[in-house]
Structure 1
Amino acid sequence: MNWISNYVRPKINSLFSRREVPENLWTKCPECGTMLFHRELKDNLNVCSSCDHHMAITPRERFDDLFDGGIFTEVEVPEPVADPLHFRDQKKYPDRMKAAQKKTGETEAMLVAEGDMGRTPIVAACQDFTFMGGSMGMYVGNAIIAAAQRAVELKRPLILFSAAGGARMQEGILSLMQMPRTTVAVEMLREAGLPYIVVLTHPTTGGVTASYAMLGDIHVAEPNALICFAGPRVIEQTIREKLPEGFQRAEYLLDHGMLDRVTHRKALREELITITRLMLGLPPAVKGDLPAPSDISEEVTPETPVEANPEAETPVDAAAASEPETDKPA
């Protein structure tokens, strides 16, 4: 046994070897380049504490903040036909789906749930941009229809969070057919007299913008979100002109009447509670976790102790003092 090779060298290597740091402990802000600790970033709802840039957030993280106590129930969505066109580019479509499912831990690009938001029952649907760019395929169309049907069944408003790069090219014309399908789903809500609120997040583009994302009764957007059909780079190359500063961003669209509100992610929940209850004709939500106080005064029961009258010597004297004087018989 060579003690130098088997003992001394490994000991020296362990002392001078570089410790491996998990890659998910720090996140670099794509806007300002600040390194953000993962716990602080999560507590801040994936908003940069340095430049206030709104990063992508998963549907489950968003629902944890949206619903009361983070409690919600998923709505079942019908599964579409897998790989109907047998599409293949650099990878087969099923392989891309498996990679996206492994990366995100989700089945598809949209999650539908029901629960209470500020003690107001709602149905919510949220797209996941990390799942193949949140692309709109047959599953997303089925999810929106399932959300609308559930909202009509329960007579609840529907709140949809959009985040997509457009239609899913691997499904071809079948993905484009989701535009009229989702339009019919929105019409179901209107016929039922139920509010349909859309929250546009970064980015919302392509066929999603041309269909259900811009058909809401109220349109709210997160700050600096890109909202468009064709991107600014494509438009500049087509018209060969320089576009205005902030073109197709949320603030620009708000100034030009395309949006109703631009709200910070931290204030978004309270904003949606206010809008939803206003559209439903309900009173403002009660702040805090306790139920609303009752206006009915508490009645005194026989078990309730009666405070002693310090001026009365005995309870009998106190009762006799309270009785009206009457003529005694002779």
Structure 2
Amino acid sequence: MSNLDVKPAATECGGREDVSATPVRELLSPRQVPLGESTVVRRLLPNLGRRMVGAWCFVDHYGPDDIADEPGMQVPPHPHIGLQTVSWLHEGEVLHRDSLGSKQTVRPRELGLMTAGRAIAHSEESPRDHARFLHGAQLWVALPDAHRRTAPSFEHHADLPEVTGGGGLHATVILGELDGAVSPGTTFSPLMGADLTLAAGTSAHLPVDPDFEYAILAMSGEAEADGVRLSPGSMLYLGSGRRTLPLTADTPSTVLLLGGEPFAEKLVMWWNFVARSGDEIVAARDEWTQGTSFGEVHGYDGPRLAAPTLPATPLKPRGRTR
């Protein structure tokens, strides 16, 4: 998924200076961002006060949207460097095409994982004959310096490991490991992501890694995490230093749990690029505009996405928060 802001701000993040070594409860408010003709997303990361959670550096939540008479998601071909994209659906379908020649329809609770590495382009769209509702999340993972120029790739995993934690909790492991269950998705740094389903009356304690920082994104229902009630589209940053996470729900609810070892490297993110310097961002934009290294996405009905104008101020990597 692309950042479709016509004037995207540079996000300077990374480093561990401001990571809490103890549990916190920091509720993050989303920002409304239009995505294509008929979809509006709630952007949780980067946020005004919290720009990363582990290596997770971008989180959009969208829907549930009634797109029965709408085109649904329509994101033209656009470029990425230095990151992985994670497509995760609760309702609907998204057709992925990329410059490697991949063409894959991603369905609810299937993992669509694209590693941009040194350069890739892709498009995402609702199929012509699509389901009535569209509901999901799009997430990006920053690649560490040792792997950010790796060869691009795309993975689709329809069968993911599950955890039944008792007390009404059921989990699907998207990336990394949770309670001994390991996702087949490729990762390049210590992190995890899981889709948690909480039945009505859930009261559970989920084991987590005290060395990871965590955040929880409410997808549906009215769950509580560590005593904080979450409305759909909100995200609670939880800090680190936890061994268990208390979760309750009076009504059926779903949340995404994201975690990882605090990202030590400082980076700069602008538009669809994750880099380490402003010069790298400028070079990537020039390459998308004038070069060929991103390749071509074939089959999308429409022109590719034009790069926005760069900001006038220099792009410099700094801290991971505020």
Fold equivalence (TM over 0.5): no
Query: More relative contact order in 1 or in 2 (CA 8 Å, sep 6+)?
Result: 2
Structure (1 or 2) with the greater strand fraction: 2
TM-score (norm 1): 0.26
Q: TM-score, normalised by structure 2?
A: 0.26
